[in-house]
């Protein structure tokens, strides 16, 4: 813990604010402090931790690398230049498979460049206008899968490369959230025919998982399929997920995971949740956590890519549809 000269006022963020800014739990920050010697917070006059701005920025870089799948022991305590170099390498690695895929008529960079420029110009009105028109032109499902998803990846890469600051990434998230919410609200409800009604889907993430944009994209696609969605936002404790599913009589619980958690922890949490949910409540999971897709998970459906949601809904409905009646026997 860093000491302060006598009579000086410490400058920095309290631990709760650092948790909000970085998505790293308070307990995680304390463990890293003991285990790795970083971060090194100051202390205010009451003895509470205060984190200088440069350490908060460093923690944000570390969080990005954790999301990309690196382990804390490999990145915690590295200086900002080393973290930026790792982020650059991760971004290059993520783009490499694209060079081996079939070329498209319009390179992603060409279609995304004006949107990225609007974010960099701090022009939310232009960004909102462009996204809203794209949604109307493309239709909601292609808009989500072909524009919003790659745009979110591009924004993350721009942040990793130092082109965007955190506030610019937050600007993008705020604008796209508004556009998607408006599109969802505009959907006309489907007739509730017995064979096609449902499922009712509860959407959330588990504690320490702050990323909610993926959940919103899933909600948009599910709403388009006529599902009833109940979103709890992010960071819902396991016991509360179970209680909410029961209270809302949810047919499905849908969770999103990034690579911020270790694979074993994710799988252990899912096994515990599956055991606590009723057997007839489906559990759907998705996101960038590789552990979800390494082997089949008993009683759990792993969804990748987003376009796989529609077939999964159709499969759920086919299982719940009443059996077809046979031909009526002639009267005697």
Provide the residue ranges of all domains of the chain, joining segments of one domain with +: 13-91, 108-186, 200-319
pLDDT(179) > 50: yes
Q: What is the CATH number of domain 200-319?
A: 3.40.50.280
How far apart, in whole angstroms, are the C-alpha atoms of residue 173 and residue 64?
A: 16
**Token reading at 13:** 């963020």
Q: Which residues pair with 254 in a beta bridge?
A: 203, 284
pLDDT band at residue 198, thresholds of 50, 70 and 90?
Answer: confident
CATH 1.10.3470 applies to domain 108-186: no
How far apart, in whole angstroms, are the C-alpha atoms of residue 240 and residue 242?
A: 5
How far apart, in whole angstroms, are the C-alpha atoms of residue 312 and residue 290?
A: 20
Q: What single-letter DSSP state applies at residue 322?
A: P
pLDDT(267) > 60: yes
Q: What is the CATH number of domain 13-91?
A: 1.10.1660.10
End-to-end Cα distance, the chain: 92
Query: Is the backbone peptide bond immediately before 118 cis, with ω within 30 degrees of 0?
Result: no
Distance of CA 31 to the CA centre of its chain: 24
Residues 6+ apart with CB under 8 A from 222: 201, 229, 254, 309, 313
pTM above 0.75, yes or no: no
pLDDT band at residue 9, thresholds of 50, 70 and 90?
Answer: low
pLDDT one-digit tens code per residue, 28-69: 899 899 888 999 999 888 889 999 988 988 998 888 888 777
Q: Dihedral angle at the C-alpha atoms of 135, 197, 287, 242, nearest 10 degrees?
A: 130
């Amino acid at each position: 813990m860093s000491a302060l000269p006598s009579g000086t006022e410490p400058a920095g963020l309290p631990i709760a604010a650092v948790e909000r800014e970085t998505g790293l739990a308070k307990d995680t920050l304390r463990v890293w402090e003991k285990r790795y010697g970083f971060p090194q917070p100051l202390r205010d006059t009451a003895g509470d931790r205060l984190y200088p701005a440069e350490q908060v920025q460093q923690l944000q870089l570390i969080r990005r690398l954790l999301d990309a799948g690196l382990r804390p022991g490999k990145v915690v305590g590295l200086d900002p230049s080393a973290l930026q170099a790792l982020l650059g390498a991760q971004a290059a690695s993520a783009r490499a498979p694209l060079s081996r895929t079939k070329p498209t008529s319009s390179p992603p960079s060409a279609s995304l460049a004006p949107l990225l420029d609007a974010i960099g110009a701090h022009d939310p009105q232009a960004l909102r206008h462009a996204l809203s028109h794209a949604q109307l032109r493309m239709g909601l499902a292609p808009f989500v899968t072909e524009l919003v998803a790659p745009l979110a990846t591009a924004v993350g890469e721009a942040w990793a490369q130092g082109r965007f600051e955190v506030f610019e990434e937050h600007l993008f998230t705020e604008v796209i959230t508004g556009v998607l919410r408006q599109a969802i609200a505009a959907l006309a409800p489907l007739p509730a025919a017995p064979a096609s009604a449902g499922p009712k889907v509860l959407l959330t993430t588990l504690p320490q998982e702050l990323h909610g944009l993926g959940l919103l994209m899933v909600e948009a696609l599910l709403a388009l399929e006529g599902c009833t969605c109940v979103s709890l936002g992010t960071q819902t404790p396991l016991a509360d997920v179970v209680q909410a599913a029961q209270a809302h009589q949810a047919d499905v619980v849908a969770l999103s995971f990034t690579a911020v958690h270790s694979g074993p922890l994710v799988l252990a949490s899912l096994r515990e949740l599956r055991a606590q949910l009723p057997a007839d409540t489906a559990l759907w999971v998705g996101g960038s956590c590789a552990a979800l897709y390494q082997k089949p998970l008993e009683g759990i459906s792993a969804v990748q890519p987003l376009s796989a949601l529609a077939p999964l809904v159709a499969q759920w409905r086919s299982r719940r549809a009443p059996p077809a009646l046979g031909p009526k026997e002639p009267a005697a």
